[in-house]
Amino acid sequence: MPELPEVETVRRGLQPVMEGAKIVVAEARRPDLRFPFQPDFVARLQGQIVTGLGRRAKYLMADLGSGDVLLMHLGMSGSFRVIKPDNEAAPGEFHYPKGKDSAHDHVLFRMSSGADIVFNDPRRFGYMKVIARNALEDEPLLRDLGPEPLGNEFDAAMLARSCQDKTTSLKAALLDQRVVAGLGNIYVCEALHRSHLSPRRIAATLSTKKSEPTDHAKRLVGAIHTVLNDAIKAGGSSLRDHRQTSGELGYFQHSFKVYDREGEKCTTPRCGGTIKRFTQNGRSTFWCSKCQK
DNA sequence: CCCAGGACCTGCCAGC
DNA sequence: TGCTGGCAGGTCCTGG
């Protein structure tokens, strides 16, 4: 499901019920997600106050009173929902309406704010890990992440520099979380279309020999900013699984120009092209060969 | 080191 | 109705 706008949407949904509240009960209903849970996973969460809920790239990070940080990744199909606990249930028991999907409710938190938080992930590509805050910079999952695409240090010059020796496609470079951290298949396709750049272009063409950013790089950074900000405003994109934590759908999918629009007409004014699809590095690329060069 | 491809897992949908 | 193959918003690991 989730790229940066979906994760940010989830963060904003969880923040009001998590920040300042205590994790009264934590439960992991299976031994692993993508990785095994740490043996002390539950123990390090239970009883802790969540002092802040942040986001880095596609990770959610809950700061705990103990000095630990709970790192959460949604993988492809992870989602959180916030429900009201059933007052009939015994304390410490999670008791809520079961859906067809509840077999994949893997992690539950009861918050002192009066909310139960349920993490559901059918494919189990997501994961959670508790890390000491003072060890964050050594954390392998975070260590190699590039700049936040909406952060101050990410600009055309920086993007051009990190692409200057890359022989791979521009599409693959933008999906590389070391280059810029938070984009995924949808928003890379969309940003490339909006900047009229071909996904097949060699990444190094974003810079000159002197590593100066080209106008292409500037356009691309502008398009990344616009598409991510617009998608966050829309509550993300809902194709299959993504819901806001309230259960509402995001609606940015209605603003897609290329993603999942194979065969449809390109919306670029006076272009007249047709959206095509092909596979790059094992993933679908959607684009218009007429206006993306 | 860089890069492409496979692996991980389940669900859904189109086509037979 | 099945059943089957292909596809899905991510990223780690391996081998060239």
Q: Which nucleotides of B are covered by protein (CB under 7 A)?
A: 2-12
Instruction: Say how far apart CA A164 and CA A156 lie, in whole Å.
Output: 12
pLDDT (mean) for A118-146: 97
- Chain A 50-79 contacts with nucleic strand B (CB below 7 A): 77
Asked if residue A140 belongs to a domain, the reply is no
Asked if residue A141 belongs to a domain, the reply is no
Interval A142-163: pLDDT, tens: 999 999 999 999 999 999 999 9
Average pLDDT, whole number, for chain A? 95
Same domain, A16 and A121: yes
- Give the pLDDT score at A241: 65
pLDDT at A122 over 80: yes
Same domain, A222 and A123: no
- Give the pLDDT score at A23: 98
Asked if residue A150 belongs to a domain, the reply is no
A85 is catalytic: no
CATH number at residue A15: 3.20.190.10
Under 8 Å between Cβ of A237 and A248: no
Determine the structural domain holding residue A189 and report its residue range. Answer: 156-288
Instruction: Say how far apart CA A261 and CA A256 lie, in whole Å.
Output: 8
Same domain, A92 and A194: no
Residue A289, amino acid: S
Whether pTM > 0.95 for this model: the answer is yes
> Which of A251, A255, A293 shows the shortest CA–CA distance to A273?
A293
Query: A104 among the known binding-site residues?
Result: yes
Is the CB of A41 less than 7 A from some atom of nucleic acid strand B? no
Under 8 Å between Cβ of A126 and A77: yes
Same domain, A165 and A284: yes
Instruction: Say how far apart CA A34 and CA A74 lie, in whole Å.
Output: 10
Interval A235-280: pLDDT, tens: 999 987 666 777 788 999 999 999 999 999 999 999 999 999 999 9
Is the CB of A124 less than 7 A from some atom of nucleic acid strand B? yes
Domain final position from A116, A132, A148: A132
Same domain, A15 and A79: yes
CA–C1' A15–B2 (A): 40
CATH number at residue A256: 1.10.8.50
Q: How many domains does chain A have?
A: 2
Edge-to-edge strands of the sheet including A68-73? Answer: A50-56, A59-64, A68-73, A127-132
Residue of higher predicted confidence among A68 and A87: A68
- Give the pLDDT score at A1: 66
